[in-house]
Amino acid sequence: MTDIDINKAENISIDSSFIANLRHDLRTPINAILGYSEMLLEELEDDITLGDSQGDNLPDSMAQCHLVSEKLNHIQANGKEVLRLINQLLNDQYGSQSKNVLIENLLNLKIATNPLITEIVDNCNLIKNILKKFSNQDLMVDIDRVYKSGIHLKALFIDIQELNFLPINETENLSHIPIDNFIQVRYPKLSLENQKNIITGHILVVDDNQNNRDLLFTLLTKENYTVSTAINGKEALEMIEKKEYDLILLDLLMPEIDGYQVLKNIKENSKKKHIPVIMISALDEVENIIRCIEIGAEDYLPKPFNKTLLKARVETSLEKKILRDREIEYVKKLNNELDKGREMQLNFLPPQPLQIPHWEIASFFKPARQVAGDFYDTFILPNNHVVLVLADVCDKGVGAALFMGLFRSLIRIFSHQNSIEGNINEILSTHKPLDTGWLSSNVNTNAVHLKALNSVSLTNNYVADNHGDLGMFATMFVGVLEPETGLLTYINAGHESLIITDSYGNRKQELDSIAPAVGMMANMIFNCKQIYLEEGDILFGNTDGVTDARSITKEFYHDKRLNAILQQPFNSVHLLVNTIRDSVLEHIGTADQFDDITMLAVRREIKNNEE
């Protein structure tokens, strides 16, 4: 606002730029009042519909909810009425009338709107008092914006009453500037040095009117665009199917196939939906615009169109298209790199199940993304003992995948180190398996198992010492199996329990976690246990991606479904793993896979197949 007094400014001519400027300043707080109150109303009405009057974000009673809703509706109604009066009493026709007529209309506007604005402010205060009981401060912030906009509007009308209302620079009188030049003077264009780079593209113009097609063709080709035309929607769809376009200018009312249908067809086509579409039509009703935008139109221009506005909208749409194309290309390259990473990661896993006489090993691995944090491993030590690994690195994505490779490699490398310094008998006496002690009387066997399992401690210390600041760790099951006897020495470091069943599905034992996750802190103690797998026994393990698998309705797969399958009789772990795999994937259905899914199963066969 300025200190220009219209009574003192006798030489100021009242033209349309004066009215437009004043109208703009009055509409601005109205826009905030209507916008924020509508947002509040929608949020509150959603909560009322849910009926959650006990929620943290609602007042103490539904009656207060309805009261707030009622007051917000009053604010909306009053705001719209104030806007209507502004539009009615401050239109451009007053630019050709005298100063006194304008003053009279402004005072009438102030008198008519004052009680409406006062009610808006009063309702805001009432709502703010109720919202003090809300825990959601965003609601209070929004209603405070409505309140402040109402106060600002009252201040503007006080200026009107005092006739100090010109929205003009204090040192510069712009009232003599015609409306066509007003914006340019107040907001001058950038110099040619700052103009954007020339944008090109192939544009398809679709219009059943020859004159419109010719006009658009001429205007756009002068801007160095490549332009093709189609006389109706049917021809347009055929052309779009055969060729790539950067932008489509689409008429709304056409015979056979109208613009709505063409737009809908484009946006439902996965290969063409990225093409921006600007609707151009003589139908300028809000309902038509909203419908087109909802279907997927980039913009909407009414006929007759302003050529400067047309060029600006075309340029903006093409700029967005260029950015989208760059993004698509970047994502494509990124996915290619991730696919390469996936191939390398899969190469870390055993290419095929180990073939061990009288034993069967089966596995399943399905990452949630291109790369995974889960992994399993099976490999043979030089003395023909078998190492079984099942692990889940914390987090997901590329970071987890990189640590997956690190954990897997360290376990393999350290498992093959055959030296433990000191007297082996003393070491075995000091490091006994929990509960049972050493089940095997063979010192060499126990030493082999202890040395291999020492890989867990060495891996833990390496990761904690060198990468502890990243906070990465892995839950891990590492077991060493003597195939001849079925002796299994294992460490379960924070992993899901592994299940042992017989061939009839009877649960015999659960191998629960007995140590912390690997990599969390250096020099942690990793205790081990020993058991025997008897003929017909099945050892089954999985990562939490199995039980945490979610359906399209967000329902978890849960242990209950898994246990129901494990209780069934199986004489093949390949059949068992495939059965669980099919059940989990069927449960997920069309939903996104939430986590990596990994399974490892081992079965000791019954000699001579006598079951």
| Closest by Cα among 520, 379, 408 to 460 | 520
Tally Cβ neighbours within 10 Å of residue 299. Answer: 18
Per-residue confidence (pLDDT) for residue 94, from 0 to 100: 46
Question: Greater confidence, 63 or 301?
Answer: 301
What is the mean pLDDT of the segment spanning 16-27?
70
Question: Greater confidence, 179 or 477?
Answer: 477
Per-residue confidence (pLDDT) for residue 228, from 0 to 100: 95
DSSP per-residue codes, 315-331: HHHHHHHHHHHHHHHHH
Mention the CATH class of domain 16-186: mainly alpha
- pLDDT band of residue 14 (cuts 50, 70, 90) is low
Per-residue confidence (pLDDT) for residue 169, from 0 to 100: 38
- Residue 557 in contact with residue 544, Cβ under 8 Å? no
Alpha helix stretches (DSSP H) within 431-499 = 443-467
What is the mean pLDDT of the segment spanning 174-197?
45
User: Which among 346-355, 395-404, 433-442 has the top mean pLDDT?
Assistant: 433-442
Lowest-confidence range among 103-117, 192-206, 350-364, 508-522? Answer: 192-206
Q: Is 113 strand, coil or helix?
A: helix
Per-residue confidence (pLDDT) for residue 11, from 0 to 100: 41
What is the mean pLDDT of the segment spanning 273-296?
85
CA distance 414 to 427: 18
- pLDDT band of residue 134 (cuts 50, 70, 90) is low
The residues spanned by each domain of the chain are 16-186, 197-327, 349-543+596-609
Q: What share of the chain is helix, strand, coil (3-state, %, to 5)?
A: 50, 15, 35
CA distance 433 to 527: 7
Q: Quick one: 197-327 is in which CATH superfamily?
A: Response regulator (3.40.50.2300)
Q: Quick one: 349-543+596-609 is in which CATH superfamily?
A: PPM-type phosphatase domain (3.60.40.10)
494: left (phi over 0), alpha (psi -120 to 50) or beta: left
Q: Which tens digits make up the pLDDT trace of 458-494?
A: 999 999 999 988 889 999 999 999 999 999 999 999 9
Average pLDDT of the residues of the chain: 83
- pLDDT band of residue 65 (cuts 50, 70, 90) is confident
Strand partners, 482: 487
- pLDDT band of residue 60 (cuts 50, 70, 90) is low
- How many residues in the chain? 611
Q: Which tens digits make up the pLDDT trace of 574-603?
A: 999 999 999 999 999 999 888 889 999 999
Q: Which tens digits make up the pLDDT trace of 313-342?
A: 999 999 988 888 888 888 888 878 877 777
Per-residue confidence (pLDDT) for residue 189, from 0 to 100: 45
Per-residue confidence (pLDDT) for residue 18, from 0 to 100: 67
Per-residue confidence (pLDDT) for residue 376, from 0 to 100: 92
DSSP per-residue codes, 168-210: S-TT---TTS-HHHHHHHHSPPPPGGGPPPP---EEEEE-S-H
Per-residue confidence (pLDDT) for residue 235, from 0 to 100: 93
CA distance 275 to 203: 10
CA distance 337 to 331: 10
Q: Which tens digits make up the pLDDT trace of 369-387?
A: 777 788 999 999 988 999 9
CA distance 313 to 319: 10
- Residue 584 in contact with residue 596, Cβ under 8 Å? no
Q: Which tens digits make up the pLDDT trace of 155-173?
A: 887 766 555 444 333 334 4
- Write down the number of H helices and E strands in the chain: 16, 15
Alpha-carbon Rg of the chain, whole angstroms?
37
